[in-house]
Chains A and B, each alone.
Chain A
């Protein structure tokens, strides 16, 4: 039985802050950051946006493209490291808003930036097992870096949603793998507002080692080469890492560019590679093969191989395209407004 994606959707908030605006506050060299991280601006959620609202909008867009009855959705997984409630699921709100309750399995997932692809992995497997007709997986985050920390330049907001099924696919899932080790490169302890990271240890021994591991696993499992793919999407914590990893693995700039959003979006954490894949599906042609590897600190990568079907041309315009959201209707904000929106200002009672 062939399983895969029957509908997909992305949501990117309209607010943006430029790197230079952040750098000016902390006396940092903006040009050096922009060059070093290949990062120019990032999305910022409004005061009325959070992982749940972005997940609902992305999921509704996936539903619009899927054209299915929401009651046929048997599982809802929301992956995020910024669930609005520490206890009480995001997924229940998403399922309720879609009209998928009550015969639905629901779980909130967390695995740093991998929580979104994690849900996709589980959702696909659940459909393949025959337990459910359709399964929804969402990756969404409104992540925060500590003020002045390197992560503050990249931590952004966005969501992507995928509905998996076994019929009317827009992309088949040809293979999926997972590569995981215990690697303490980035974490946030309970009750802490901001995460901590291990500096340069987050690079080679974490992101690159894990991404390469999953990539090799996936190529070995499928017997395919980088040249066999029309597009490749990697986790994008900044602009630089995914390009460097992809090229080292043998992918070309052209293969990587369509899903490479981070220079103007920032790192949407659980949303990062899933949103990248939506941008690829917006452009892909029937028959295109797509390579995707996520990464979550801690650390692990999920890898997927997709093949786009003819149906992509029918559903593409049923919801807003990702690049359009990235490029249009942007509202630039100052650091002061950013600090207010992100709860960085100590308020009176």
Chain B
């Protein structure tokens, strides 16, 4: 069961392709992706910002049993990453020996293929972390 409907995929481009986020004009908290209400102060006015693609690993796991979408990619590392300014993203760490991943590890985000809707459907691109 793929969730890669083309419209749904395209709608996420600003965040997935360009790391576009929104900074709350009231409290300065950055939301990624952009949203209508600031979760920190419920502000509703935002300025567009782009995330810096460098950060560090906060917590991680190495997945040995993957979901159908990533079944053949195991073992792969998944992490919560803190980017500059404290913004967090959850994504895979690619091009790394999963056994070498550790908290605090410096990473940068690179444009990668994340999922595809089978051999004939759309390809969904986004970012993965790689060792900095």
Contact = CB atoms under 8 A, between A and B. Distances in A.
Asked if A and B touch directly (CB within 8 angstroms), the answer is yes
Interface string B77-98: 0000000000000001011010
B113 A97 contact: no
A349 B73 CA distance: 16
A47 B76 CA distance: 12
Contacts of B92: 48
Contacts, number: 51
Contact of A57 (B110, B113, B131): B110
Given A48-B128, A85-B123, A97-B18, A53 B72 contact: no
B72 A97 contact: no
Interface residues of B, number: 18
Interface string A25-56: 00000000000000000000011111011001
A224 interface: no
A167 to B, nearest CB: 25
Contact of B95 (A50, A56, A331): A331
A57 B111 contact: yes
A46 B128 CA distance: 12
Contact of A84 (B73, B111, B123): B123
A329 B96 CA distance: 9
Interface in A71-95: 84-85, 93
B114 interface: yes
A312 to B, nearest CB: 24
Given A53-B113, A56-B111, A57-B110, A48 B123 contact: no
A99 B95 contact: no
A57 B95 CA distance: 15
Contacts of A347: 72
By DSSP majority rule, is chain B's interface helix, strand, loop, or mixed?
strand
A53 B111 contact: yes
A231 B111 CA distance: 32
A310 interface: no
B112 A97 contact: no
B17 A47 contact: no
A99 B128 CA distance: 19
A14 interface: yes
Interface string B107-127: 000111110000000010100
A329 B95 CA distance: 9
Contact of A99 (B18, B73, B111): B18
Contacts of B114: 48
Given A49-B113, A97-B125, 8 more contacts: A15-B95, A47-B72, A47-B73, A47-B113, A52-B125, A53-B112, A56-B111, A97-B17
6 contacts: A48-B73, A48-B92, A48-B113, A53-B110, A53-B125, A97-B111
Interface of A: 14-15, 46-50, 52-53, 56-57, 60, 84-85, 93, 96-97, 99, 329, 331, 340, 347
